[in-house]
Structure 1
Amino acid sequence: MIALFVVGSAILVWRGRCQTESQARRLGRVLAVLTAAIYGATLVYFSLPPTIDGSVPLRLTDLATVAAACALWSRAQWAYALTYYWGLVLSTQALISPVLTGPDFPHYQFLAFWAIHLLVVWAAIYLTWGRRMRPRWRSYRFTVLVTVVWAASTFTFNRVAGTNYGFLNRKRLHRSHTSYH
Structure 2
Amino acid sequence: MDAFFSSGAMSGFVLLSLPHLLALAVVLLLILGLYYTRITIRNRPWLRRAVRYGLALLLLLSEVSLNIWYLEQNVWDARYTLPLELCSLTLLLSIIMLLTGSRWLYPFLFFAGIGGALQALVTPNLLYEFPHFRYFQFFISHAAIILASLYMTWIESYRPGWKSIAWAMLLLNISAAAVWGVDYAIGANYMFLAHKPDTASLLDLLGPYPYYLLVEEGIALMMFIILYVIFFLLPDKITQYNRSRKGARSSS
Other-structure match for 2:184: 159
User: Percent of aligned pairs with the same residue?
Assistant: 23
Other-structure match for 1:24: 48
Whether the aligned pair in 1 keeps the contact of 2:108 and 2:172 (CA below 8 Å) is: no
Other-structure match for 1:80: 106
- Are the structure 2 counterparts of residues 84 and 161 from structure 1 closer, same or farther at C-alpha, using a change threshold of 3 Å? same
- Are the structure 2 counterparts of residues 129 and 173 from structure 1 closer, same or farther at C-alpha, using a change threshold of 3 Å? farther
Other-structure match for 1:51: 77
1:29-51 Cα offsets, whole Å, 9 max, x none, are 11111111111221332355431
Q: CA RMSD in A?
A: 2.2
Q: Which structure's relative contact order is higher, taking Cα pairs within 8 Å and 6+ residues apart?
A: 1
1:104-161 Cα offsets, whole Å, 9 max, x none, are 1111011111111111012222322344321245644443333222111211221232
Structure 2 counterparts to residues 1-181 of structure 1, below 5 A = 1-19=23-41, 20=43, 22=45, 23-47=47-71, 49=74, 50-100=76-126, 102-136=127-161, 139-176=164-201, 180-181=204-205
Paired AA for residue 162 in structure 1:
G
Which stretches in structure 2 are left out of the alignment for 5+ residues? 1-22, 206-252
Whether the aligned pair in 1 keeps the contact of 2:90 and 2:145 (CA below 8 Å) is: yes
1:80-120 Cα offsets, whole Å, 9 max, x none, are 223201222221100111111x2211110111111111110
1:42-73 Cα offsets, whole Å, 9 max, x none, are 13323554312223221111110012222233
Paired AA for residue 9 in structure 1:
I
Instruction: Determine the C-alpha separation between the residues in 1 that align with 2:112 and 2:185.
Output: 26
**Count of paired positions:** 179
Which stretches in structure 1 are left out of the alignment for 5+ residues? none
- What TM-score, normalized to structure 1? 0.86
Q: Per the alignment, in what secondary structure is the counterpart of residue 45 of structure 1?
A: helix
Please tell me whether Structure 1 or Structure 2 has the larger radius of gyration of its CA atoms: 2
